[in-house]
Amino acid sequence: MKEFNLLVGGPVMQLPTDLLTTKKAACWGGADRGALRLVKAGITPQLAIGDFDSSTAAERELIFKNSQRVETAKAEKDDTDTELAVRVILRDYRPDQLKIYGATGGRIDHLLANLFFILQPEFYPALDRITLIDRQNNISFFKPGTYLLQKQPDKKYLAFVPLTKVTQLVLYDEKYRLAGKDFSQPISLASNEFVGTTAKFSFTSGVVCVIQSSD
Amino acid sequence: MKEFNLLVGGPVMQLPTDLLTTKKAACWGGADRGALRLVKAGITPQLAIGDFDSSTAAERELIFKNSQRVETAKAEKDDTDTELAVRVILRDYRPDQLKIYGATGGRIDHLLANLFFILQPEFYPALDRITLIDRQNNISFFKPGTYLLQKQPDKKYLAFVPLTKVTQLVLYDEKYRLAGKDFSQPISLASNEFVGTTAKFSFTSGVVCVIQSSD
């Protein structure tokens, strides 16, 4: 499967404008309140997953009736709804791309959980297939290697964010370049920019998150 | 000086309700657009700092006329406005508490820069005096030790977020306890809760961020 979209329960106002109308025909999964939002937008999720504890009986019925598949799994104490959903999606649908919406805004412990879970051994192998997307930000994740990023037309800023100890980060052709720097702990190298329409970077160990954003 | 408040340039709607009216008499500093917001709210900042490049001539005049002190320092390439302001505030005002507002919402590279900068050697000594506050979140930082947290009445959730490798994290009396666990990389242990009005925790190395939040 090429692309799977997952809607989790973050604030609606952080979602890209008209997301649920422009991507109505896409392949969707919804975690908990995210599933309710999909169904209310007239989308039939391939998967609705969560404990649905925060939904009323009527809302649960709406979700159950209008989803291809429902998993009423309860998130383990150490799992978030996002992790639960991503686990099932990676295992059962094997998408090339998993785009997660609704993962930002509101509670920052949630945002950080949605950002850091890809570091866990269970999710690490798939991290380069996972993207978090909201109204202003596109967040992707990289294992050691050399990459050529494509500028997104609606985004101005480019940030490189080592999430772990990272060695030999080289920024070849960005507005602010880097010749090969080591970082011993997380840091956000914010407000960089593309010079042209692509940006080349490389590093030799750790995990780097790349954020394209607009004001 | 007991408490210094710093307003940086994040979206207004993430600020605590009525922040600038309820804390009108507090000691304030403003970084760039934050300084403009303070002055427009009728507050005379102790310090206005930034390059003010994004302000019009009229706005700059308004800031310069209505601030006790103006520093038109340009942030170094590797600095954010927040880091520039925090550096000057720690050095010249030596506050016991530095509360930073406007550091969340909008661009996630900014949010992460505002979260991770306390790990840098320059800021590490002062990290336990720095708090990031927005409408839904109160974020504080801890060095190794044993602590007793006070529950904030308006917050429901409690999260422990190792920002680095952290050893022997013990959660003694929270809803979800931990007996002494090591973490090799960042993780957000989200959605924990106070059982009473205090929560005890300890760890032996690394930096832990604690977030009290509400939905």
- The superfamily (CATH) of domain A136-215 is Thiamin pyrophosphokinase, catalytic domain (3.40.50.10240)
Name which of A108, A161, A214 is nearest B104 (Cβ-Cβ): A108
CA distance B160 to chain A (A): 8
The answer to whether residue A191 neighbours chain B at the CB level (below 8 Å) is yes
With CA atoms as reference, report the closest residue to A132 among A150, A116, A148, A149: A116
Residue of B nearest to A211 (CA): B109
User: What's the pLDDT at A77?
Assistant: 67
The third-level CATH classification (topology) of the domain covering B1-135 is Rossmann fold (3.40.50)
Q: Which amino acid is at A12?
A: V
Query: Could you check whether B1-135 and B136-215 share the same CATH topology?
Result: yes
Give alpha helix (H) positions in B32-99.
33-40, 57-65, 81-93
Please report, for chain A, the start and end positions of each structural domain, with discontinuous segments joined by +: 1-135, 136-215
Q: Which of A13, A111, A112 to mutate to test binding with chain B, by most B CBs within 10 Å of its CB?
A: A112
B200, B177 in Cβ contact below 8 A? Answer: no
Q: How confident is the model at residue A116 (pLDDT cuts 50, 70, 90)?
A: very high
The answer to whether residue A185 neighbours chain B at the CB level (below 8 Å) is yes
One pLDDT digit (tens) per residue for chain B, 215 residues: 699 999 999 999 999 999 999 999 999 999 999 999 999 999 999 999 998 988 999 999 999 999 999 999 876 667 889 999 999 999 999 999 999 999 999 999 999 999 999 999 999 999 999 999 999 999 999 999 999 999 999 999 999 999 999 999 999 999 999 999 999 999 999 999 999 999 999 999 999 999 999 99
With contacts defined as CB-CB under 8 Å, which chain A residues touch B214? 107
**Mean pLDDT value of segment A45-61:** 93
pLDDT digits (tens, 9 = 90+) for A164-189: 999 999 999 999 999 999 999 999 99
Q: Is the pLDDT reported for residue A19 higher than 70? A: yes
∠ at Cα B111 (B107, B112), nearest 5°? 115
What secondary structure does DSSP assign to A74-95, as a single string? PPPTT--HHHHHHHHHHHHH--
The answer to whether residue A107 neighbours chain B at the CB level (below 8 Å) is yes
